């Protein structure tokens, strides 16, 4: 197992950002598959299956130990494959130990609170994995790209200064540090898709009846802001990638590759927690021995 964990760590490493200084999005190619070619796809699928199995056993220990929690955050442009990645990567694990929360446009009640409020309510308990499909990071992405969302937030005007994004990044860094210090580990995944591949996937959604439901005209609208989103994503990673709460900038033009990198990142996170099943004390061992004896007595 140790060897496998090491391999997973190495696979995810080129995409892990633990210090945002000097990070540039253009250094990561959305079409990257490391040295794997499309004929290696079956091997990558096998690695994914093995990864999912390993994830299941780590999750079992996380749950039994009931000390750590794990928060996984997924951010991306539309059609980058967040939903599919979450579905595949989590397919083998016990549904009792995982919660997935999508964050869409905030409700009236959400807007009556500070921006972290709705996310705080959904944080994972100890022993569990919490998945945020979009998150408080939207507060530095869509809200930054579209000024009208910020205007709707009912903030006292004197607090809306030119420093607002810098302030938000600081809030987020402090919030994540607080969580990590409380035993909630954090890994953040940005699925980095190219504009060309997004176009291909949008066309597929338009042309394939079983995918029509996934397409919304507003997705096309957001595509017009591609450059601004790119800048916002880059700044977000620069400002919030830390050793304890790293970003993984995952090439997302090839789904088979994206999923392997994500599963590797999640395994690495769990493996770094040194999980183990709770040890049973002397008294409990005696009790178990007595139960065994009672159950194996004739006539029981």
Q: Which residues sit at the interface with ligand ATP, rule CB under 6 A? A: 78, 83, 103-106, 133-134, 138-139, 142-143, 149
In order, the DSSP letters of 204-218 are HHHH-GGGGGG--HH
Cα(83)–Cα(96) distance, rounded to whole angstroms?
19
Q: Tell me how many degrees the CA angle 185-191-196 measures, rounded to the nearest 5.
A: 175
Q: Are 119 and 136 in contact (CB under 8 A)?
A: yes
Consecutive H or E run containing 144? helix 142-145
Q: Which residue is associated with the tokens 């980058």?
A: 80
CA 69 to chain centre: 13
- Nearer to ligand ATP by Cβ, of 33 and 75: the residue is 75
We find the least distance from the C-beta atom of residue 255 to ligand ATP, in angstroms, to be: 15
E-only strand ranges, the chain: 16-17, 69-76, 98-102, 129-133, 184-192, 247-251
We find the least distance from the C-beta atom of residue 142 to ligand ATP, in angstroms, to be: 4
* C-beta pairs of 144-151 under 8 Å, 24+ apart in sequence: 144/232, 145/225, 145/228, 145/229, 145/232, 146/225
Q: Are 248 and 188 in contact (CB under 8 A)?
A: yes
- Pairing outcome for strands 247-251 and 184-192: parallel
We find the least distance from the C-beta atom of residue 254 to ligand ATP, in angstroms, to be: 19
We find the least distance from the C-beta atom of residue 78 to ligand ATP, in angstroms, to be: 5
Cα(90)–Cα(71) distance, rounded to whole angstroms?
13
- Nearer to ligand ATP by Cβ, of 41 and 255: the residue is 255
We find the least distance from the C-beta atom of residue 109 to ligand ATP, in angstroms, to be: 13
- Nearer to ligand ATP by Cβ, of 56 and 150: the residue is 150
We find the least distance from the C-beta atom of residue 148 to ligand ATP, in angstroms, to be: 10
- Nearer to ligand ATP by Cβ, of 133 and 240: the residue is 133
- Nearer to ligand ATP by Cβ, of 104 and 181: the residue is 104
- Nearer to ligand ATP by Cβ, of 68 and 233: the residue is 233
We find the least distance from the C-beta atom of residue 214 to ligand ATP, in angstroms, to be: 7
- Nearer to ligand ATP by Cβ, of 138 and 176: the residue is 138
Cα(116)–Cα(103) distance, rounded to whole angstroms?
12
Consecutive H or E run containing 150? helix 147-151
């Amino acid at each position: 197992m140790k060897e496998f964990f090491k391999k997973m760590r190495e696979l995810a490493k080129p995409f892990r950002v633990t210090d945002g200084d000097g990070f540039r999005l253009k250094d990561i190619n959305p079409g990257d598959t490391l040295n794997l070619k499309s004929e290696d796809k079956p091997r990558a699928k096998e690695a994914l299956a093995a990864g999912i199995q390993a994830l299941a056993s780590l999750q079992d220990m996380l749950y039994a130990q009931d000390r750590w929690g794990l928060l996984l955050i997924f951010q991306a442009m539309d059609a980058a494959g967040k939903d599919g990645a979450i579905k595949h990567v989590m397919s083998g694990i016990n549904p009792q130990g995982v919660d997935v929360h999508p964050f869409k446009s905030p409700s009236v009640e959400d807007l009556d609170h500070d921006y972290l409020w709705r996310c705080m309510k959904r944080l994972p308990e100890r022993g569990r994995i919490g998945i945020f499909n979009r998150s408080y990071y939207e507060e530095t992405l869509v809200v930054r790209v579209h000024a009208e969302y910020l205007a709707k937030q009912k903030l006292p005007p004197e607090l809306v200064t030119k420093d607002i994004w810098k302030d938000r990044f600081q809030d987020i860094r402090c919030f994540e540090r607080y969580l990590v210090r409380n035993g909630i580990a954090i890994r953040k995944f940005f699925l980095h898709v190219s504009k060309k591949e997004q176009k291909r996937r949008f066309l597929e959604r338009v042309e394939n009846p079983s995918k029509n439901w996934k397409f919304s005209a507003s997705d096309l609208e957001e595509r017009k802001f591609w450059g601004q989103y790119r800048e916002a994503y880059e700044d977000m990673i620069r400002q919030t990638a830390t050793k304890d709460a790293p970003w993984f900038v995952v090439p997302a033009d090839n789904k088979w590759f994206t999923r392997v990198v994500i599963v590797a990142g999640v395994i690495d996170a769990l493996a770094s927690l040194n999980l183990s099943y709770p040890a049973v004390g002397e008294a409990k061992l005696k009790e178990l021995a007595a139960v065994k004896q009672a159950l194996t007595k004739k006539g029981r």
